[in-house]
Structure 1
Amino acid sequence: MCGICGFVSLRGGEGEVGESLAAMTDAIAHRGPDGEGFYRDLFSSGGGAALGHRRLAIIDLVTGDQPLFNESRRLAIVFNGEIYNFAALREELAAKGHVFATSGDTETIIHLYEEMGPRCVTRLRGMFALAIWDAAKRELFLARDPFGKKPLYYTALPGGGIAFGSEPKALFAHPDVHPRLDPSAVAHYLTLQHVPEPATGFACIRSLPPGHAMTWRNGQGRPERYFQLDYLPKLTGSADDLAAELRARVTEAVRLRLVSDVPLGAHLSGGVDSGIVTAVMAGLTDRPVRTFSIGFTEEAFNETDKARAVAARYGTQHTEFTVGFDAARAVMEDVVAATDMPFADPSALASWHLCRLTREHVTVALNGDGGDEMFAGYQRYWLDPLADLYAKLPHGLTRRFVPWLAEKLRARGDVPVEADWRAGLKRLAQAVRVPRAASLVRWGSYFSPWDREAFLRPDFARAARPDDTVGLYAEAFAAATADNNLDRGLFADVRVYLPGDLLVKADRMAMAHALEGRSPFLDVELASFAARLPARLKLRGRTGKYLLRRAFADMLPPRIVGQPKRGFGLPVSGWFRGPLRAFARDLLTGGRVERDIARPEAVQGVLDAHETGVADHGKRIYALVMLELWLRRYL
Structure 2
Amino acid sequence: MCGITGIVRSDSAQIDRELLARMNDAIRHRGPDDDGFYFGDGVGLGMRRLSIIDLKSGHQPIHNSDRTAWIVFNGEIYNYRELRKQLEARGHQFYTDSDTEAIVHAYDEYGTECPRYLRGMFAFAIWDERAKSLFLARDRVGKKPLLYAQLNGQLVFGSEFMALLQHPDVSRDVNYEAIHHYLSFICVPAPLTAYQAIRKLQPGHSLLWKNGEIKLERYWQLDFSHKISINEEEAGERVVDLLRDAVRVRLMSEVPLGAFLSGGIDSSAIVALMAQESSEKVKTFSIGFEEQDFSELHHARRVAEHVGAEHHEFIVRPDAMEILPTLVEHYGEPFADSSAIPSYYVSRETRKYVTVALNGDGGDECFAGYERYAAMNLAQRYAKVLPAVIRNGVIRNVARALPEFQSRANPLRKAQRFLAAASLSPVQRYLRWVSAFDEQAKLNLYSSDFRNETAAFSTIGF
Equivalent AA in structure 2 for residue 50 of structure 1: G
Q: Report the CA distance between 1:91 and its aligned residue.
A: 0.9
Distance 1:433 1:2 in 2: 46
Say if 1:420 and 1:307 are closer, same or farther in 2 by CA, change over 3 A.
farther
Which position in structure 2 is the counterpart of 1:586? none
Per chain length, whose mean CA-contact separation is higher, i.e. which structure has more relative contact order (CA < 8 Å, sep 6+)?
Answer: 1
Q: 2:368 aligns with which of 353, 365, 376?
A: 376
CA deviations over 1:41-97 (Å, ceiling 9, x no partner): 12xxxxx11100000001100001100101111100001000000001111111111
Say if 1:423 and 1:266 are closer, same or farther in 2 by CA, change over 3 A.
farther
CA deviations over 1:473-492 (Å, ceiling 9, x no partner): xxxxxxxxxxxxxxxxxxxx
Q: Report the CA distance between 1:241 and its aligned residue.
A: 2.6
Q: Report the CA distance between 1:300 and its aligned residue.
A: 3.2
Equivalent AA in structure 2 for residue 345 of structure 1: D
1:357 equivalenced with 2:349 (yes/no): yes
Which position in structure 1 is the counterpart of 2:300? 307
Q: Report the CA distance between 1:454 and its aligned residue.
A: 1.2
Equivalent AA in structure 2 for residue 246 of structure 1: V
Distance 1:307 1:461 in 2: 47
**5+ long unaligned stretches in structure 2:** none
Say if 1:340 and 1:196 are closer, same or farther in 2 by CA, change over 3 A.
same
- The correspondence of residues 6-17 of structure 1 with structure 2, limited to 5 A, is 6-10=6-10, 14=14, 17=16
Which position in structure 1 is the counterpart of 2:185? 192
1:451 equivalenced with 2:441 (yes/no): yes
Q: Report the CA distance between 1:291 and its aligned residue.
A: 0.8
Which position in structure 1 is the counterpart of 2:418? 428
**5+ long unaligned stretches in structure 1:** 43-47, 473-635
Which position in structure 2 is the counterpart of 1:228? 221
Which position in structure 1 is the counterpart of 2:30? 31
Which position in structure 1 is the counterpart of 2:270? 277
- The question of whether the paired residues in 2 share the 8 Å contact of 1:430 and 1:442 is answered with no
Which position in structure 1 is the counterpart of 2:40? 41
- The correspondence of residues 279-294 of structure 1 with structure 2, limited to 5 A, is 279-294=272-287
1:77 equivalenced with 2:76 (yes/no): no
Q: TM-score, structure 2 length as denominator?
A: 0.94
Say if 1:181 and 1:430 are closer, same or farther in 2 by CA, change over 3 A.
farther
Say if 1:288 and 1:439 are closer, same or farther in 2 by CA, change over 3 A.
farther
Select the structure that is richer in strand. Answer: 2
Q: 2:130 aligns with which of 131, 136, 139?
A: 136
Match of 1:39, SS? strand
Give the % identical residues. Answer: 46
Across the aligned residues of Structure 1 and Structure 2, the Cα RMSD in angstroms comes to 1.8
Q: 1:214 aligns with which of 207, 210, 223?
A: 207
Q: Report the CA distance between 1:10 and its aligned residue.
A: 4.2
Equivalent AA in structure 2 for residue 147 of structure 1: V
CA deviations over 1:135-193 (Å, ceiling 9, x no partner): 121100000000000011111012x1111111121111112112110111101111111
Q: Report the CA distance between 1:440 and its aligned residue.
A: 4.7
Say if 1:463 and 1:323 are closer, same or farther in 2 by CA, change over 3 A.
farther
Mean Cα displacement is larger for which, 437-446 or 354-363?
437-446
Match of 2:16, SS? helix
Which position in structure 2 is the counterpart of 1:615? none
Which position in structure 1 is the counterpart of 2:144? 150
Q: Report the CA distance between 1:24 and its aligned residue.
A: 0.9
Select the structure that is richer in helix. Answer: 1
Match of 1:194, SS? coil
Q: Report the CA distance between 1:334 and its aligned residue.
A: 1.4
Match of 2:203, SS? coil
- The correspondence of residues 611-630 of structure 1 with structure 2, limited to 5 A, is none
Say if 1:200 and 1:180 are closer, same or farther in 2 by CA, change over 3 A.
same
Q: Report the CA distance between 1:438 and its aligned residue.
A: 4.5
- The correspondence of residues 90-129 of structure 1 with structure 2, limited to 5 A, is 90-129=84-123
- The question of whether the paired residues in 1 share the 8 Å contact of 2:391 and 2:423 is answered with no
